[in-house]
Amino acid sequence: MAEPKKIVVLGGGYAGITAALKLQKQLARGEADVTLVNKHDYHYFTTQLHKPAAGTGSPDHARVGIRDILNPRRVAVLKRTVEKIDPAGKKVLTDEGDIPYDVLIVALGGEPETFGIPGLTEHALFIRSLSSVRYIREHIKYQFALFKQDEDRTERLTFVVGGAGLTGIEFVGELVNRIPELCRYHDVDPALVNIFVVEAAPAALPGFDADLVDYAVDLLRRKGVVFKLGIPVKKCTSEGVEIGDGEFIRAGTVIWAGGVRGSRVLEASGFETTRGRVVVNPYLQAPGHGEIFVIGDSSIVLNDQGKPYPPSAQIAIQQGEAAARNAIALLRGREMAPFKYFYRGTVASLGKGEAIGSVGKYKVKGAKAAILKKIVDGRYLFKIGGVRLLIRKMAFFS
């Protein structure tokens, strides 16, 4: 009897987990060997990282063990770091040896994009993983403690967020809720704390309607946030950031939320990329490699007008399902289906009980939008872990 074909999924983020779950569900027993390779043995909710980063939620709440989601009898999980893909040799090179494949689904996620701005890599902090947000959380607390050692150093209490996209704004929404608690604990006058959001574009939250953006910006301004719009971050040092035409903001904390790029593994493996992303064909395959699907933040899917869809958890999840279906079709020698993205809307949280959202022609803000956010998050938890995971995590996802 012929050996079962090997399907390997790289990455356990939104795209990879969804693909592995779909393969687990749709493949017949023994039809293929499925392996998921991930750096950690847990899956984390990237769209929730702003909470542990600001300290309003525990890092543990933003993750779930991969073995709690996938059936180990149907999907083998390997905790390894992917270093390179060798398409000619049909193998993946990892820190602990090579993994051969017949069909590969690459879902390695994104990395912060710094656009070559000097000093960001060295001095800014990034909301990108559980370890990075644990670090940010402790760093923020430490700034308060340091300030109490030398109260002339008020820049310890200055926070700069570069980029007013969803990551930057959702983080600031949590930070403004966290500051009063930190001030109380450290006996610090809240009036000494400064929070700046520096955004190169003329407005915050690109993609949202102007009235929703106004709502979000007004709300955060009332909570003390200073927006510097239409002003780029030019340079970051250990002392703070230089912005626009030379102004320097002295700050103990600089968070960079200026955007994401694809995984460097794809570039290192010789794929043609744009900012680390592979432009995939309508079936989500890498050009010239019919047996390799690329999905999530490391891929670019073009819309009907030939423009790339922005990366998001929503598109990653849909790509995960589509890539798994096409991988199975490929194995069975059947016809694959082109990927079709159904955009269901976006909700941005602005701290506890506050959010903005646009779903179809409906626009929501305030408490209603915060409930909508809970529903969106709840649907995902249910999808990957059923009622058990939903009940376990839902309180945190509020």
Backbone angles phi, psi at 220, to 5 degrees: -70, -35
What secondary structure does DSSP assign to 91-142, as a single string? Answer: EEEETTEEEE-SEEEE---EEE--TT-TTHHHH-EE--SHHHHHHHHHHHHH
Residue 6, exposed/middle/buried by CB under 10 A (0-12, 13-18, 19+)?
middle
| Nearest-approach distance from CB 328 to ligand NAD, in angstroms | 28
What is the contact surface with ligand NAD in residues (CB under 6 A)?
47, 115, 117, 162-168, 170, 198-201, 206, 232-233, 257-260, 310-313, 346, 348
| Nearest-approach distance from CB 115 to ligand NAD, in angstroms | 6
| Nearest-approach distance from CB 162 to ligand NAD, in angstroms | 5
CB-wise, 312 or 326, nearer to ligand NAD?
Answer: 312
Length of the chain: 398
CB-wise, 101 or 296, nearer to ligand NAD?
Answer: 296
CB-wise, 22 or 261, nearer to ligand NAD?
Answer: 261
| Nearest-approach distance from CB 257 to ligand NAD, in angstroms | 5
Token pair, residue 50, equals 């702003």
| Nearest-approach distance from CB 30 to ligand NAD, in angstroms | 38
Active site residue 170: yes
What secondary structure does DSSP assign to 251-301, as a single string? Answer: -SEEEE-S-EEE-HHHHHTT---BTTBEE--TTSEETTEEEEEE-GGGEE-
Strand-strand pairing, 285-286 and 289-294:
antiparallel
Residue 119 gets the label, from left (phi > 0), alpha (psi -120 to 50) or beta, of: left
Position with the least CB separation from ligand NAD:
165
Query: What gap in Å lies between CA 170 and CA 378, rounded to an integer?
Result: 18
| Nearest-approach distance from CB 72 to ligand NAD, in angstroms | 30
CB-wise, 85 or 164, nearer to ligand NAD?
Answer: 164
The neighbour count for residue 200, using CB atoms within 10 Å, is: 18
CB-wise, 310 or 366, nearer to ligand NAD?
Answer: 310
What's the maximum distance between 2 C-alpha atoms anywhere in the chain? 76
Q: Which of 170, 174, 199, 354 is catalytic?
A: 170
Query: What gap in Å lies between CA 18 and CA 189, rounded to an integer?
Result: 46
CB-wise, 184 or 221, nearer to ligand NAD?
Answer: 221
The neighbour count for residue 72, using CB atoms within 10 Å, is: 9
Residue numbers annotated as active site: 170
